[in-house]
Amino acid sequence: MNGYFQLDCREDGTYLWIYAETDGGEPLKAVEVADYLQKKGISYEITDLNRKITAILDKGIIKLDNVKRYPEREMMKVTISADKMSAYARFYPASVGGIESGADVILGDLQNAGVVYGVDREVISAYLEKKQYCTDILIAKGLPVRHGTDAEITYFFNTDLKARPTLNEDGSVDFFNLNTMNHIKNGQLLARLTPEDPGEKGITVTKEYLKPRTVKKLVLKGGRNIRISEDRLEAFAEVDGHVMLVDDKMFVSDVYQVQNVDNATGNIDYDGSVHVAGNVCTNFSVRAKGNIEVMGVVEGATLEADGDIIIVRGVNGMGKGNLKAGGNIIAKFIENATASAGGYIETDAILHSKVMANGDIHVEGRKGMISGSTVAATNSITVKVLGSQMGSDTILELGIDPARKLRFQSIMGEVDAIKKKIKQIEPVLLAANQKMSQGQKLPPDRLQFIQNAAISYRQLREEMEKLVREYEELEDIINSNLTATVKVKDIAYAGTKIAISDVSTILKSDVRYVRFYYEGGDVRYSSL
C-alpha cells in the first residue's frame, strides 16, 4: 500500500497523521499533502512538511496549527485522461471522526467531475471493501471506437495484363509471344465482394461519441455475359470467352477474328476483342470494347480500343493513322501516326509521330529511337537514341496526363467564347431593367425574350465559373507533378527539347547515358 495521511481535528488544533508505505508501495510525497491542505484552507510550509514526513519511519503525527476545525469527509480526486477514454480516482481518508464515502457518494462525485460512462462498480466495491489511499485507481473506461474496413473485390483473373515484349539476346524485341487474354469458361467464378464493415462508435468516459473512419463501399459491376449472384457478392461468366475489366466493370465476350481488315470486311466495330491475323489496310478502322491484336501491319488506319492495342509488325500511319487505347499500346514501330494510351506505350521506334501515354513510354530494342516526334508521358520515357543528327524537331513532354494538358490548353478558348456571349446579352438585360425601373411595360413577346436571355445569362455565368475552377485545378496538378524522368540509354542529340511540367530545356550539345529530371526550377541531367 502507498503511504498516506489523515487529518485529526482536535480541540487544541489540527494534526496530521502520517502512515508510511507498506509491501513495496510508493512513499508519501509532501507536495501531495500540501496540495490537499491548500484545498482545505490549511497553509503549511512545504519544506518543513517534507522534512517531518521523511523523518517518520512507520507512523507519526505532525501538528499543523492551533486552529480548531470541523472534521473533513472522505475526499476523491478524479483525473480524466487526455483522450477521455479513462478516468482515475485517488482517495484521501476522512479526518478522524469524519464521514466516509459510500458507493452512492462516489458515484455522485464522479458525475460531478463529468465521468458518466463506463464506471466500474466492481472497482468501487473493491475499494470500499479494502480502502487504498493516495493511489490512482482506474475507475472508469470508455468504449474504444472500432474502425471498420473498406469493401474489397477479389478478382479471380488477371486485372493487370502488362503484356511487355521481351528483349532477345541479339537486341531485337519479341512482339509475337504476348499474353494479353484472360480465357475463361462458362460458370467460372470471376469476382467476389467482401462488403464494407462500417465499424462501431466509441464512447468516452464523459459520454462523447467517437465516429469510426468513413469506409469505402464497392459493388460488383457486370456487363455483357456476366451473372451477379442474388446476394450481389459473386460474379460468374455466362459463356466461354475472354473476360475484361474496363472502368471497374467486367464483361465477357468471344474474340472476333479476321484475316485482314480491308474491302472484304469493311470497318469493324465490335463489343469485345478483335484479332487480326494479317493487316489493317489504309483508310479502314477497327473499334473494340476489349483489346485489338494485329499480327501484321497497320497502314494509314484508325484503331480504337477500350483495352490494349497490340501491333506485332508496327504502324505506318502515312500522316493519317490514329491509335487510341484505353489501356496500353504495344507496336513494333510507330511512324507518321498519332497514338494515345491510357496506360503505357512499348515500341522499338517512334518516327515523325505524335505519341501520348498516361503512364510510361518505353522505346527500346534494336533501334530504340525517338526522332522528329512529339512524345508525352505522365511518368517516364525510356529511350536509347533521342533526336537525330539531322536536327529534326524532337520534343518530350512529361509530368502530366497528356489528355489533361490538352484539356488545360482548350479551357481558356471556351471561356473566351462564353465571355463574348455574355457581352452580347448584358446590354439587352441592362436596357430592359432601365425601362422597367422607369415604369414602362414591355410587350408579352419582348418580356418572354428578356426572361429567356436572363436564363441564358445565368447559365453562361455558371458554366464560366465551372470552367475557371477546372482550369485552376488542372493548373495545380501541372505545377505539382515534378517527379517524371527521361532515361537515355545511348545518346540524346543536340536540339532535342525536354519539358517536365511547365519547365523545359533544349540540348545545346550531344549527351550520352543520362537521366533528365526536375530540380530547383530547372530541367537537369545526370549520368545513369
pTM for the model stands at 0.52
Spell out a b/e string for 359-373, using b for 16 or more CB atoms within 10 Å of the CB, else e. Answer: bbbbbbbebbbbbbb
What pLDDT was estimated at residue 176? 55
Q: Is the pLDDT assigned to residue 528 strictly greater than 90?
A: no
User: Using an 8 Å Cβ cutoff, are 316 and 337 in contact?
Assistant: yes
What pLDDT was estimated at residue 481? 59
What pLDDT was estimated at residue 165? 67
Percentage of residues in the chain having pLDDT higher than 90: 62
User: Using an 8 Å Cβ cutoff, are 467 and 492 in contact?
Assistant: no
Q: Phi/psi of residue 282, each to 5°?
A: -55, 135
Question: What cell numbers appear for 511 in the block?
Answer: 549527351
Q: Name the amino acid, one letter, at 509.
A: S
The 10s digit of each residue's pLDDT in 110-136 is 999 999 999 999 999 999 999 999 999
pLDDT, mean of residues 475-486: 71
User: Using an 8 Å Cβ cutoff, are 161 and 343 in contact?
Assistant: no
Whole-angstrom distance, CA of residue 141 vs CA of residue 122: 13
Coil/strand/helix, residue 127 = helix
Q: Can you tell me which residue has the cell 502488362?
A: 162
Whole-angstrom distance, CA of residue 412 vs CA of residue 478: 16
What is the DSSP pairing of strand 189-194 with strand 234-237? antiparallel
pLDDT, mean of residues 491-520: 91
The 10s digit of each residue's pLDDT in 346-399 is 999 999 999 999 889 999 888 899 999 999 998 899 999 999 988 778 999 987
The 10s digit of each residue's pLDDT in 260-299 is 998 888 899 887 789 999 999 999 999 998 899 999 999 9
User: Using an 8 Å Cβ cutoff, are 28 and 36 in contact?
Assistant: no
Cα torsion angle, 144, 150, 156, 160, sign? negative
Whole-angstrom distance, CA of residue 367 vs CA of residue 344: 19
Whole-angstrom distance, CA of residue 361 vs CA of residue 341: 10
What pLDDT was estimated at residue 265? 85
Q: Is the pLDDT assigned to residue 330 strictly greater than 90?
A: yes
User: Using an 8 Å Cβ cutoff, are 492 and 513 in contact?
Assistant: no
Average pLDDT, the chain: 89
pLDDT, mean of residues 38-57: 88
Q: Phi/psi of residue 138, each to 5°?
A: -70, 110
Q: Name the amino acid, one letter, at 44.
A: Y
CB atoms within 10 A of CB 193: 19
Whole-angstrom distance, CA of residue 362 vs CA of residue 380: 8
User: Using an 8 Å Cβ cutoff, are 309 and 291 in contact?
Assistant: yes
Q: Is the pLDDT assigned to residue 423 strictly greater than 90?
A: no
Q: Up-side HSE of residue 55: CA atoms within 13 Å toward CB?
A: 10
Q: Is the pLDDT assigned to residue 172 strictly greater than 90?
A: no
Strand partners, 227: 236
pLDDT, mean of residues 427-444: 82
The 10s digit of each residue's pLDDT in 224-270 is 899 999 999 999 999 887 888 888 899 887 788 889 998 888 899 88
Whole-angstrom distance, CA of residue 406 vs CA of residue 408: 5
What pLDDT was estimated at residue 174? 67
What pLDDT was estimated at residue 405? 66
> In which band, very low, low, confident or very high, does the pLDDT at 43 lie, cut at 50, 70 and 90?
confident
The alpha carbon torsion through 82, 85, 90, 91 (nearest 10 deg) reads 140
What pLDDT was estimated at residue 402? 59
Q: Which residue has the higher pLDDT, 151 or 399?
A: 151
The 10s digit of each residue's pLDDT in 53-104 is 988 888 999 999 999 999 999 999 999 999 999 999 999 999 999 999 999 9
